[in-house]
Structure 1
């Protein structure tokens, strides 16, 4: 008989004080970096008008999803002893699913944006406008919200599943049936993931072909128009490389959890709540890593951070500061 998806409150697990302190220090560090890093991205892109491009609007919305994940979802997830009852646990899990899904869909649309920029550079500015970016952002949030609410509505209550005589109910964990786990993994990870891999493979092939063309024109001497095109191609290639790192980071962080979920669909193995929580938090790391990828790869991020650090952001017309983007040669 098919088991419906339920929300589980795991049994309380006892650890020594030292282990508790180490766990909380690590988790608080992850939360701090997630919130501060993504907040910095939000401030930088929102404030500086030069950065108001369709690609950066998608990046901004992704940072909002990761920021909310770090500020709203991660702190309750850190609680080892759940005192807040069934209803808040359902709301927490629903927000977790919604924001994690929104982050994934944003990455998918950013991949599509980069694909258009690299593979169809002449039509990019007419096809990918701010309006188009707004539509992609709206689709990301609407789909994630509907999916999160759907999963919440399919959660069974906990009456009769636990003995509630103790004040501590354990940790708030999402437990899915085999069929639900399989559908969720395919819909929210494997299908979008394979699409992103296919898109990036195509981008890499086209970018490599463009690099050869640039090299040939440099050898025979470039016209002014060709030099301008070469600079644009290098910028897009660098952005594509950054996308590849971002996608790679996403797969490294979330693959263990979804692989475990996929295997558990066919092989019903009993694992401790600690293992499940560990895989969850390893996935959460993706939201903390994204801002640092921008920091290492993009000069606009580093220069904007310096402006904020030195307090120049509070000067009049600071939003109109022009920061020339340096293109690094491959």
Structure 2
């Protein structure tokens, strides 16, 4: 494995213009603050509110926790390295930092994979088997597996390139077959296998939703009559038509699909960057490698800041809980009771025919 002495930091500093260095630093500060504050709020909401501790919310809180720990234990050191263009924390902490980085990254991907499979089982297979207890058990298992796959980095296997060639410890160019094998295994576990599995689940879910939509709109009378007869609310001989809002079936899935899209956009370039770095000496030894590494690192950290914003935008329970939680910690905000913000949403009421009989 090739290593560069830290005395070369001044050389790479000359390759990073001051405006670009300031830009990288400011962007990483914003990402760090948003990722830290947003994910802390998500974890607090699930921890403090028993009503929020459903299986899916526990998984989302675990995902927020991994993003929060990534922001606390990795982003500040990468920020300092971007600002100084030299790694000042030593070789030992370099290995530990790399282990923590991949540990939280693999755990976050595993949680997103579990959520995607759970949506597939519910929508396609009509099986809702994930209870809060099982969710907690799966979280413990994934934490253990993530540690097993990332721990070799902490003991120097394989040895990673120490900055300043990159803003943090990354995979560098090497001809060692064990080095490349470990890196390929890590890429498969972290990106390629979860991406293919999640893509398959989402395609199956989309296909099921499309068939259900066609069936409902092709036979609205029989569908509404069947549902009303089961509920005992309407007579089986009474004709009516049903107006169904399909958004309640697809909104939760759409949220997970957005999380998957953000994961793909943020981590696919970083995965390609790691592969090219390990197998291409020319790419690794380019003078612009530090800037390129910073761009890709900035992009992958962006996912940790996007996730809590997506929760707030897409999940009403998180949004309401966040609005209730903020006045407790920010006294300058107006104190509003929870009851004043609750109202009936017409989109959540499904009616049949002209008499608007509630189903």
* Residue 134 (structure 1) aligns with: 136
Q: CA deviation at 1:23?
A: 2.1
Q: What TM-score do you get using the length of structure 2 for normalisation?
A: 0.75
* Residue 243 (structure 1) aligns with: 256
Indicate how the Cα distance of structure 1 residues 197 and 8 shifts in structure 2: closer, same or farther if over 3 A, else same: farther
Q: CA deviation at 1:288?
A: 0.9
Partners of 1:325 and 1:199 in 2: how far apart?
33
Partners of 2:117 and 2:142 in 1: how far apart?
13
SS at match of 2:88: coil
* Residue 188 (structure 1) aligns with: 190
Q: Aligned to 2:308, which of 270, 274, 291?
A: 291
Q: Is the contact made by 2:25 and 2:79 (CA closer than 8 Å) also made in structure 1?
A: yes
Q: Aligned to 2:87, which of 82, 89, 102?
A: 82
- Runs ≥4 residues deviating over 6 A: 6-10, 230-233, 318-325
Give structure 1 stretches of 5+ with no counterpart.
163-167
Indicate how the Cα distance of structure 1 residues 319 and 65 shifts in structure 2: closer, same or farther if over 3 A, else same: farther
SS at match of 2:74: helix
* Residue 46 (structure 1) aligns with: 47
Q: Is the contact made by 2:87 and 2:167 (CA closer than 8 Å) also made in structure 1?
A: yes
Indicate how the Cα distance of structure 1 residues 217 and 67 shifts in structure 2: closer, same or farther if over 3 A, else same: farther
* Offset from partner CA, 1:12-60 (integer Å, 9 cap, x none): 2224544433221111001001101111111112222221111111111
* Residue 169 (structure 2) aligns with: 173
* Offset from partner CA, 1:94-127 (integer Å, 9 cap, x none): 1001001111111111111111221233x31xx2
Q: Aligned to 1:211, which of 213, 224, 241?
A: 213
SS at match of 1:173: coil
Give structure 2 stretches of 5+ with no counterpart.
175-179, 234-242, 332-336, 349-359
* Residue 165 (structure 1) aligns with: none
* Residue 117 (structure 2) aligns with: 112
* Residue 296 (structure 2) aligns with: 279
- Which protein has the larger Cα radius of gyration, Structure 1 or Structure 2? 2
* Residue 269 (structure 2) aligns with: 256
Indicate how the Cα distance of structure 1 residues 138 and 175 shifts in structure 2: closer, same or farther if over 3 A, else same: same
Q: Is the contact made by 1:49 and 1:319 (CA closer than 8 Å) also made in structure 2?
A: no
Indicate how the Cα distance of structure 1 residues 296 and 319 shifts in structure 2: closer, same or farther if over 3 A, else same: closer
Q: CA deviation at 1:9?
A: 6.8
Q: What TM-score do you get using the length of structure 1 for normalisation?
A: 0.81
- Measured on the aligned residues, the alpha-carbon RMSD in Å equals 3.5
SS at match of 1:172: coil
* Residue 33 (structure 2) aligns with: 32
Partners of 1:51 and 1:232 in 2: how far apart?
25
Q: CA deviation at 1:276?
A: 1.8
Task: After TM superposition, list the pairs within 5 Å mapping 1:305-320 onto structure 2.
Answer: 305-311=322-328
Q: CA deviation at 1:319?
A: 11
Indicate how the Cα distance of structure 1 residues 313 and 273 shifts in structure 2: closer, same or farther if over 3 A, else same: closer
Indicate how the Cα distance of structure 1 residues 232 and 131 shifts in structure 2: closer, same or farther if over 3 A, else same: farther
Indicate how the Cα distance of structure 1 residues 150 and 196 shifts in structure 2: closer, same or farther if over 3 A, else same: same
Q: Is the contact made by 2:97 and 2:169 (CA closer than 8 Å) also made in structure 1?
A: no
Partners of 1:8 and 1:55 in 2: how far apart?
45
1:303 and 2:305 matched: no
Q: CA deviation at 1:233?
A: 7.2
Report how many residues are paired.
Answer: 311
Indicate how the Cα distance of structure 1 residues 310 and 197 shifts in structure 2: closer, same or farther if over 3 A, else same: same
Partners of 2:18 and 2:131 in 1: how far apart?
54
Q: Is the contact made by 2:171 and 2:278 (CA closer than 8 Å) also made in structure 1?
A: no
